[in-house]
Amino acid sequence: MKRLFLFAIISILMLMPVMAGGASEEESDVTTVTWFASRPLGGEIDTTMREIAERYSQEHGGKWVLEIETTADRPSYLQRLRTLIAGNNMPDIIDIDADPYCQSLVDAGLLVDVKQFLIDEGRYDDYQETALRYQEFTDGSMYTLPLEYHIEMIWYRKDIFAQYGLDVPQTMEEWLDVCKTLSENGITPIAVDGVDRWPVLRYMAMIPFRYSGNDYIIALRDGKASMGDPLGRQAIEFVQEIGQYFNEGFAATDYATAQSMFLNGQAAMYYIGDWEQNAMLEAYEAGLVDYFLLPTAPDGTTGANEYCANSGIGMAFNAETFDEKTKDFILYVIENYGEIYASKMQMSPLKVDLPEDVEFTDLYYRIAEDMDNFGPAFMKPWDTYLDSATNTIMQDNILLLASGDMSAEDFISLIDSSIAANANK
């Protein structure tokens, strides 16, 4: 879902590549668990899991090994994952969103019921509620375990806002008014990473969420609503209107460039999640930047403390190889992950007391407080709902919609046709 990283493959603790799935007993009586992962190498999740796996292996006298293959580029990862599973070579652990493809694996009996596992082991309440709910399918079932937890916000340049006498917008209409004022004064209102598509797709979800929670996107996914319905048209109109305030050439602007534009004062706002708080910290502490949460809408059904939250791509487990040794390792992860991950200035999906030997920033505590005050509803990204074909069509064409190069009617026709063809597959 977040920035794309260069394709990389690495194995830790073993030199062999990931092979056909299964915790196995070698002749040396070493248990090997394979994990096909899609995480940034050297990122906080990656390093936390490495540390836990190494510690667990040492405690078992080197007789247990976690063998990891990481493909951080998501399209490449998903293509390889589908190939492995289609060839009956599913690893013991995989990374996957709770999306239609994941549902197809569940329907085929390939994945472990993670919710039931947590309940059976008395570990369900160890997690932040929203972090778990993000991993659920719409029927409440859950087959993926979160390793992260985030909220998303609009960062803004306090110096630019002050220069033009702008207040933090409280409503979506006020947000557009702020953009208009900035644009009229020659300021780029919003820096956007269009290369990765998903940041633009977030804007499509905002109006429907404010008026229907996630009900509209679920109905659209299931073919029970049209992109041309009144709420769909409002979403399209919002993207068209706010799109004129994106930086010039946003469709070719990548993640790092969009962030740099904002931090360098070349754009007044930037939509991103708390995972970039460390990048924002210096400017935040200097009083140059701050953030506000998703503005509300008149007569909307969601409130100011309800906005986009996610717990990222989850871990899923091969039902055929989920034996007692694999379960024991996952319980070990649950026991140790939260404190180690939080010590890296990250928001843990597990409830945890913050380590006393780590000096957390005021920004960290502020974000944590917003998380504690989070309402019952959260805006779930549309790319976790849509089938892969419709998702690709929407993400590609939303760039044209936002840049004014595609009409609403053409966009509606493309989306509705794709859903009609793919929704029930």
| CATH classification at residue 118 | 3.40.190.10
Q: Given this model, what pLDDT does residue 341 score?
A: 96
CA distance 171 to 200: 19
Q: Are residues 265 and 289 in the same domain?
A: yes
Q: Are residues 164 and 252 in the same domain?
A: yes
Instruction: Give CA angle at 156 (46, 399), nearest 5°.
Output: 70
Q: Given this model, what pLDDT does residue 28 score?
A: 60
Q: Given this model, what pLDDT does residue 27 score?
A: 47
Domain span holding position 51: 24-149+312-353
Alpha-carbon Rg for the chain, nearest whole angstrom, is: 22
Is position 162 within any domain? yes
Provide the H-helix boundaries in 226-313. Answer: 230-243, 255-263, 277-285
Is position 163 within any domain? yes
Q: Are residues 182 and 46 in the same domain?
A: no
pLDDT in tens, the chain (425 residues): 433 333 333 333 333 334 344 444 444 688 999 999 999 899 999 999 999 999 999 999 989 999 999 998 888 999 999 999 999 999 999 999 999 999 999 999 999 999 999 999 999 999 999 999 999 999 999 999 999 999 999 999 999 999 999 999 999 999 999 999 999 999 999 999 999 999 999 999 999 999 999 999 999 999 999 999 999 999 999 999 999 999 999 999 999 999 999 999 999 999 999 999 999 999 999 999 999 999 999 999 999 999 999 999 999 999 999 999 999 999 999 999 999 999 999 999 999 999 899 999 999 999 999 999 999 999 999 999 999 899 999 999 999 999 999 999 999 999 999 999 998 76
Q: Are residues 279 and 416 in the same domain?
A: yes
User: CA-CA-CA-CA torsion for 97, 259, 150, 391, nearest 10 degrees?
Assistant: -30
Q: Are residues 173 and 283 in the same domain?
A: yes
Q: Given this model, what pLDDT does residue 25 score?
A: 46
Q: Are residues 61 and 93 in the same domain?
A: yes
User: CA-CA-CA-CA torsion for 2, 191, 151, 159, nearest 10 degrees?
Assistant: 150
Q: Are residues 118 and 195 in the same domain?
A: no
What is the total count of domains within the chain? 2
Q: Are residues 196 and 300 in the same domain?
A: yes
Is position 8 within any domain? no
DSSP 27: T
Q: Given this model, what pLDDT does residue 121 score?
A: 98
Tokens of 411: 């966009």
CA distance 133 to 377: 10
Q: Are residues 410 and 272 in the same domain?
A: yes
Q: 30 with 101: CB under 8 angstroms?
A: no
Q: Given this model, what pLDDT does residue 258 score?
A: 98
Q: Are residues 344 and 260 in the same domain?
A: no
Buried b (16+ CB within 10 A) or exposed e, 20-32: ebbbbeeeeebbb
Is position 333 within any domain? yes
